[in-house]
Amino acid sequence: MAGGITTSEHCATPFGAAFQLASPNVKAGGHPVVLESSPLSPHGPIPGHGEIPSFMNTSSTSVRINGAGVIRQGDVASCGDEATGHPKIMVGD
Ligand SMILES: [Zn+2]
């Protein structure tokens, strides 16, 4: 699954959840890259919404930082939200 790379400040889920685990030393577009299993800030409750608090369930298996997969546009959180991504910095898997 190719998609824009997800950063902690530039991009979030559609409901404005903030990512709480990002690389301190690898950035994209000036913002830390979000890593696998990142918790999301509490958001909601939203009707029909899943688990809150939530965390990222999917990530890249081949593009990794310090052993952790990076989060891309379309990666899914445990609450059902999908991450948004940087419009120009793409991850190719
Ligand atoms: Zn959510």
Contact, 71 vs 59, CB < 8 A?
yes
* 45-76 per-position pLDDT tens digit: 778 888 888 999 999 999 999 999 999 999 99
Domains of the chain: 1-93 (2.60.200.60)
Q: How far is the CA of 54 from the centre of ligand 1 (A)?
A: 7
Q: How far is the CA of 27 from the centre of ligand 1 (A)?
A: 24
Q: How far is the CA of 57 from the centre of ligand 1 (A)?
A: 12
Q: How far is the CA of 77 from the centre of ligand 1 (A)?
A: 7
Tokens read off for 7:
């950063």
Q: How far is the CA of 52 from the centre of ligand 1 (A)?
A: 7
Report the C-alpha gap between 15 and 74 in whole angstroms: 14
How confident is the model at residue 13, as a pLDDT?
Answer: 65
How confident is the model at residue 15, as a pLDDT?
Answer: 64
Report the C-alpha gap between 48 and 3 in whole angstroms: 26
* 1-42 per-position pLDDT tens digit: 678 999 987 566 666 788 999 998 999 988 999 999 999 988
Report the C-alpha gap between 73 and 90 in whole angstroms: 9
How confident is the model at residue 62, as a pLDDT?
Answer: 92
The radius of gyration of the chain's CA atoms, rounded to the nearest angstrom, is 12
Report the C-alpha gap between 10 and 6 in whole angstroms: 8
Q: How far is the CA of 19 from the centre of ligand 1 (A)?
A: 11
Contacts of 1 (CB under 8 A, 6+ apart): 72, 74, 93
Q: How far is the CA of 72 from the centre of ligand 1 (A)?
A: 16
Percent of the chain at pLDDT exceeding 90: 48
Total residues belonging to the chain: 93
